[in-house]
Chains A and B, each alone.
Chain A
Amino acid sequence: MIEFDKFTLNNGLKVIVHKDTSTPLVAVNILYNIGAKDEDPEQTGFAHLFEHLMFGGSVNIPNYDEPLQKVGGDNNAWTNNDVTNYYLTVPKENLETGFWLESDRMLSLAFTEKSLEVQKAVVVEEFKQHYFNQPYGDVWLHLRPLAYKKHPYQWSTIGKCLEHIEDAQLQDVKNFFFHHYAPNNAVLVVSGNAETEEVKRLAEKWFGPIERREIPERKLPAEPKQTEFRSLHLERDVPYDAIYMAFHMGSRSDDDFYKVDLLSDILSNGQSSRIFQTLIKEKNLFSTIDAYLTGDFEPGLFVISGKLTEGISLENAEKAIWEVLDEVCASKADEYELQKVKNKIESSLVFSEISFLNKAMNIAQHEITGQAEDINLEVEKYNKVTTDDLQAMAQKILIKENCSTLYYHAKKQ
């Protein structure tokens, strides 16, 4: 059970405080309800590029990092297709520095040409480092547009291509900020060694004066139901063939999410899972293989990705995956197997609550997709899932006409 206090400022900023005195530190986590899915299809990668610019100095504070490091703090941020999350940790005595810094960059940025030019170059290098300079690095640049034809999940957070990043203009940056960064479009979570009263005082003092902003209504095109199998073949200079299969499923906030999550656990969570035991250990068809959910806020993907053992054909490997999938469709898992994955979920939740920063991020995500209180219902929701549910989900999702498969061929030397 994670306990917390919750209040909302007049400008719409939601604030949540979780007290954990086992740490001498405190985390300040701000989640903005803006992600790559909100981008113009001709200007992708912008939400993430923008995240970089948030460190380029704010309206009253020329440098974000320095004053934080000076008080023993550290920070980072991440962007995904749904949201952008900023977090810092400081010794508990220096909590106010965190409020000072975060509120100023919510108020307004410095918007300098220099910062934009440099961060464009940095993001281009990030793009190269993660997507082009790694074996199998470009998979998601191809798998997304294969699985999504209409919905903006068809592009990666980093963007569709380098040109979109290189073309970004300062005016676009300003527009983006004033349309999406606002107290009424964010959740602030403070977790760690802090008292609610003190957080209230600091929140009113630093965030209270920031005015509410007009946030355009989100109108995302829905992804039409997939009706036939899709495939794509790529050939790359990599040592082994690989296969990536993506199946459409519901969103993170659906009740079905818990059923599908446990279904993926039966297939691939831990060394006793079906895919690990059958495809790696018994048949030696794959050197690595995983099944997992993207866990997106809008309808997401159930993904299976594996690297083939040398000498195994993609055809045989794929056939073997389908045999495992057909089995979860054809027959019910036994109660013991379901209990096992439920135990594992429960335990992983307990372990995830060791870190105060982790808790801050989880609380913020729950608040933005529904309400923070839901965080304490997770175990119950998982526990309700039955073996019938697993089979029903498998029959609905793990079928050929719902599947997009990327065959990644190793170039013959």
Chain B
Amino acid sequence: MEKLNRSLPPQFKTIEHVDIPISKQDVLSNQIPVHIIEGGSQEVLKIEIIFNAGLWYQKSPLIAGTCNLMLNEGTEKYTAAELAEKFDFYGAYIAYNNSQHDASVSIYTLKKYLKETLDLLEEIIKRPTFPEKEFKTILSNKKQSFLVNREKTNALAKEKFNSLIYGDKHPYANVFDAKAFDEVQLNDIKNFYKDFYTSDNCHIIISGKMNDTVIQEVENRFGASSWKTKTPDVNPEHKLISSENKKIFVRKKDAVQSSIRIGRPLFNKTHEDFPGIMLFNLILGGYFGSRLMQNIREDKGYTYGINSLLLSHLESGHFAIVTEVGKDVCDDAISEIYKEVTRLREVLVPEEELNLVKNYFAGEMLRSFDSPFALSESLRGNLPFGFNNSYYEKFLQEIKAITSGKIMELANKYFKQENLYEIVVGENKD
């Protein structure tokens, strides 16, 4: 037998394409669009009904989120306790999701209980009763978890960062204080429901093991007639106001680590520079092998982790570097972060590193689309931008075409030190 050479890596293949199953599109009789993602090895289904009912549409804080959660708290037929009892008995999960633009309710169910759980979903969506007692409990518990969260340096840094880059009145910052919980009126919640949880303001994503009856069951409950109660308002306008002041320190008494957030407002994934920025982000802090992770964790040992991220909102987006470091090394960590950004502006990324990152990214795509439920998450995020998941194949090809020169050009265009906001939350230096 040939002697094994363990220093030599085995042959490997580069991923040239990702085969992402594309959703089928259908429409219920009352014109609700339905997107269907077929697949998976288990006899399970996820049905998500999504409304344009996110923070964007609320007139004061907490309305959209509380409204979404209150759907779970009782309907004309069932109390909150009875609903919970039934979902648990069928082994089904119900999830409520509230984001900047949309809000949704999903059920995850074994296929054999599809009818039963869909009946419950129909009740929840169409006939919630918003009982006063449950409303108080929910707000009080939300307020407590808000105040616990306020004790975390990273939560404070995130809030401060978002309010500086978007403006503290903007829904993308979504900043409010504890007294907002005492000011929410149940009536506002009910009105929000009437305005936004309507049949002409939603779409549905079905994913999992499909057959013909699934869509028919959904049609029977949500498509047969219009259950619109009121036309939603026109799209409200929110002005983005980025602060002139870009550097802030917030003291958190006795914190043994400081949370750092450095970044800037940017654009979303529809922008022509987005693929290049995506690579810039990956190289700088977007995976374990990134330059920030290698320098600040793996070389200096200043932190347990450091990452950078890109977030796409419908009408904007941002870039941020996020970490928590020992308070004594905070200044050094910040200066190393800037050094790494500077290096991307001044020195071309070596071919080898660029290729590694492109390959890693292709692998990440395979990982992110590995189940029908994961595909349904991606689709949900893409639909508001006007894409379906075929976007990713095109995106991968765009990523593969980016050169080191392009990355350097973008680094200079968007990531000069004076472009960056810097927030630190922690204890004063000794």
Q: 10 nearest interchain CB pairs? A: A72-B363, A347-B91, A121-B301, A271-B84, A272-B84, A60-B6, A126-B304, A96-B10, A287-B144, A135-B151
* Nearest CB of chain A from residue B422's CB, rounded to whole Å: 20
Count A-B pairs with CB separation below 8 Å: 222
Contact in complex: B13, A93 (CB < 8 Å): yes
* Nearest CB of chain A from residue B318's CB, rounded to whole Å: 23
What are 6 inter-chain pairs, A to B, with CB distance below 8 A? A65-B288, A66-B356, A123-B304, A281-B137, A307-B144, A350-B110
In chain A between 85 and 141, which residues have their CB closer than 8 angstroms to a CB of chain B? 89-91, 93-94, 96-97, 99-100, 103-104, 107, 117-126, 128-129, 132-136
With the chains together, A340 CA to B89 CA distance in Å? 4
* Nearest CB of chain A from residue B292's CB, rounded to whole Å: 14
Residue of A nearest to B208 (CB): A354
With the chains together, A103 CA to B9 CA distance in Å? 12
Asked if B335 lies at the interface with its beta carbon under 8 angstroms from chain A, I say no
Residue of A nearest to B94 (CB): A271
With the chains together, A70 CA to B287 CA distance in Å? 12
- Residues in chain B near residue A133, CB distance under 8 A: 152-153, 255-257, 324
Asked if A73 lies at the interface with its beta carbon under 8 angstroms from chain B, I say yes
- Residues in chain B near residue A119, CB distance under 8 A: 301
* Nearest CB of chain A from residue B121's CB, rounded to whole Å: 15
Q: In the complex, how many residues of chain B place their beta carbon closer than 8 angstroms to a beta carbon of chain A?
A: 75
Contact in complex: B80, A281 (CB < 8 Å): yes
With the chains together, A136 CA to B298 CA distance in Å? 28
Residue of B nearest to A107 (CB): B6
Contact in complex: B370, A287 (CB < 8 Å): no
- Residues in chain A near residue B302, CB distance under 8 A: 121, 125
Asked if B217 lies at the interface with its beta carbon under 8 angstroms from chain A, I say no
What residues make up the interface of B, taking CB atoms closer than 8 Å to A? Answer: 4, 6-7, 9-15, 19, 39-44, 72, 80-81, 84-85, 87-93, 108, 110, 134, 137, 140-141, 144-145, 147-148, 150-153, 253-257, 287-289, 297-304, 324-326, 355-357, 359-360, 362-364, 366-367, 370-371, 373
A-side binding surface: helix, strand, loop or mixed?
Answer: helix
A343 is contacted by which of B6, B90, B134 (Cβ under 8 Å)?
B90
- Residues in chain A near residue B11, CB distance under 8 A: 96
Asked if A246 lies at the interface with its beta carbon under 8 angstroms from chain B, I say no
Contact in complex: A72, B366 (CB < 8 Å): yes
Most buried by A among B80, B92, B144, B299: B144
Contact in complex: A125, B325 (CB < 8 Å): yes
Binds B, one of A222-230, A232-240, A399-407: A232-240
B303 is contacted by which of A61, A69, A125 (Cβ under 8 Å)?
A125
- Residues in chain A near residue B41, CB distance under 8 A: 20, 22, 353-354
Contact in complex: A90, B137 (CB < 8 Å): no
- Residues in chain B near residue A310, CB distance under 8 A: 140, 144
Contact in complex: B9, A67 (CB < 8 Å): yes
Interface string of A325-352 (1 = CB under 8 A from B): 0000000000000011101111110110
Asked if A209 lies at the interface with its beta carbon under 8 angstroms from chain B, I say yes
Residue of B nearest to A75 (CB): B288
With the chains together, A336 CA to B303 CA distance in Å? 50
* Nearest CB of chain B from residue A215's CB, rounded to whole Å: 23
Asked if A8 lies at the interface with its beta carbon under 8 angstroms from chain B, I say no
Asked if A305 lies at the interface with its beta carbon under 8 angstroms from chain B, I say no
With the chains together, A71 CA to B367 CA distance in Å? 13
With the chains together, A342 CA to B1 CA distance in Å? 54
Q: A284 with B359: in contact, given A122-B301, A128-B256 (CB under 8 Å)? A: no
- Residues in chain A near residue B253, CB distance under 8 A: 237
With the chains together, A331 CA to B384 CA distance in Å? 53
Contact in complex: B43, A287 (CB < 8 Å): no
- Residues in chain B near residue A280, CB distance under 8 A: 137, 141
Interface string of A168-206 (1 = CB under 8 A from B): 000000000000000000000000000000000000011
Most buried by B among A121, A269, A346: A121
Contact in complex: A128, B110 (CB < 8 Å): no
Besides the known contacts A70-B12, A132-B257, A134-B151, 5 further A-B residue pairs in the complex with CB atoms under 8 A apart: A69-B288, A72-B359, A90-B363, A91-B13, A121-B300
Contact in complex: B304, A74 (CB < 8 Å): no
Residue of A nearest to B91 (CB): A347
In chain A between 10 and 30, which residues have their CB closer than 8 angstroms to a CB of chain B? 20, 22-25
A91 is contacted by which of B15, B85, B151 (Cβ under 8 Å)?
B15
Contact in complex: A24, B12 (CB < 8 Å): no
Q: A71 with B359: in contact, given A120-B301, A209-B4, A343-B90 (CB under 8 Å)? A: yes
* Nearest CB of chain A from residue B106's CB, rounded to whole Å: 13
* Nearest CB of chain B from residue A401's CB, rounded to whole Å: 32
* Nearest CB of chain A from residue B209's CB, rounded to whole Å: 11
With the chains together, A350 CA to B90 CA distance in Å? 13
Contact in complex: A61, B7 (CB < 8 Å): yes
Most buried by A among B19, B140, B298: B298
